Structure 1
Amino acid sequence: MDQDSAHMVAASKVPMLKSGEFELWRMRIKQYIWMIDYALWEVIDNGATLPKTAVVEGVEKVMPITSAEDKA
C-alpha cells in the first residue's frame, strides 16, 4: 500500500464518539461530512429549505435561504 492510498483510507474513516470528547468529535464529524458531501452539510446546517422566488414589479427575484438561526 503506497502512501497516498494509506492517506485516503485514514481520511475516509468515520470519527468515533468517545465519552467526554464530544466537542472534538463534533468538529471532526463536521469536517468529515464537508469532505464527503458539502451539499449534505448545507442541508444539516440550514434545514431542507429550497430557495424561494418572488415577483417584484414584474421581475422574478430569488430570495436567500434562511438559516436555522434566522428562523428561530
Structure 2
Amino acid sequence: MDSSKHSKIPVFTGENFGWWKLKMKHYIKSIDYQCWKIIEDGPLAIEETDILTGFTKVKAEKDYNEDDFKVAEKNSKAMSILQRCVGEAEVSRISGCPTAKQIWDSLVLVYEGTSQVRKHRIDLLMQQYEIFHMSKDVSINSF
C-alpha cells in the first residue's frame, strides 16, 4: 500500500503522548502491519543452523540471502516511520536506538514511566483528591 494515500502523519512534539501513541499504532498498522509487530515485539533475529553442530546462531550480514534482507528491511522501515513521526527534540533522544522496538520503548518509558511510576502517580492523585475540600467561608464560584 502506498503511504502517500494515508492521512497526515501524527508527529509527536512532546505533548499528548497517549493520543500520539494510539494514533501511531493505527497509522503504522495501516501502512505495514509487520512493521507494527516489529515495533511491538522486536525485530526477528536472522539466524542459521550450523549443519555440523545443529546449533542455531545469528547469521552474519555478509551471509544474508534475499529473504534475510527483506526481514532486516522491516526493522529499518519501522525505525524510519518512527523517526519521521517525532519532533526534533525527540530525535536526539532516540538516535542511539538500534531497533524500532527500542525507539518505541524509550518513548513510552520517558512519557509514561514504568508501572511503578504510573502507580505512584495514581496514588498521588488519589491523595490529592482525598484531601480536596472547600472551606466554609469560600463560595463555589471562587473555589
Q: Give TM-score scaled by structure 2 length.
A: 0.26
Structure number with higher strand proportion: 1
* Higher RCO structure, 1 or 2 (CA under 8 Å, sep 6+): 2
Q: Give TM-score scaled by structure 1 length.
A: 0.48
Structure showing greater radius of gyration is 2
Structure number with higher helix proportion: 2
